[in-house]
Amino acid sequence: MAWNNALRRLTFKLRGMTAVELVASMVLASVLMVAMLGVLRGLKAHERTITQKSTRLPWQANLDKVLSHDLANSRTYELTPNGLILRGFAGSDVRTGVSTWLPATIYYEVKNDGNRPWLLRRETPQPDVPHLVLTDVTSIQIGIATDENAAFPESGRLQPPTATQVIRETAIPNGLVIEFWGTDGLIYRFQYRAP
């Protein structure tokens, strides 16, 4: 009798898994694979961003920071024939440069002194003190990146290039691309990603 009970316990252990256990393990495995794919996709996008930023020159990195701050704290933008206007809460102290987050209008304007064109940045209600941003800028183009996976879209993939068209006051979308163009071509490109 004891031998028969031991044999019965042994055969019970060798029976295998039930259908419910198999389905549960497959569901758990698929959930883990989906989670891993999301992590890998995020790592690839982060690597692409780091690679792009590591090849930027110091002046480009500084301009990236200024534009990121201005766009993140602005609510609307407007493109005019000679510049870009941002309205929102991107105000800063003119003496120290520290953000105050007070209501402000920021102007990026293309000016020409007769010898060469300049891109100037000024903000109101601060005293009218323009700051030099770039030299040899002749126009500003704005568009929306069509491919969210591309860190910086190639020229011609903007929708639509608007160097001469006026854009009325519009909310700032994620993926907004700002390009500064000169006589020799593209000088600088920035793609805004909402924080």
Q: Is 80 helix (H, G, I), strand (E, B) or coil?
A: strand
* Residues 143-171 pLDDT 10s: 887 654 444 444 444 443 444 455 667 78
Which tokens in the block code for residue 78?
């407007």
Closest CA to 76 of 88, 67, 64: 88
d(CA 87, CA 43) in angstroms, rounded, equals 34
H helical segments located in the chain: 2-13, 19-54, 58-72
Which tokens in the block code for residue 138?
């002749």
Q: Both ends of the chain: CA-CA distance in Å? A: 73
Element (H, E) at 190: strand 185-191
Which residue ranges make up each domain of the chain? 2-54, 58-191
Lowest mean pLDDT among 74-83, 121-130, 150-159: 150-159
Q: pTM score > 0.75 for this model?
A: no
Provide the phi-psi class of 88: left if phi over 0, else alpha when psi is between -120 and 50, else beta: left
Q: Which neighbouring-strand residues pair with 191? A: 177
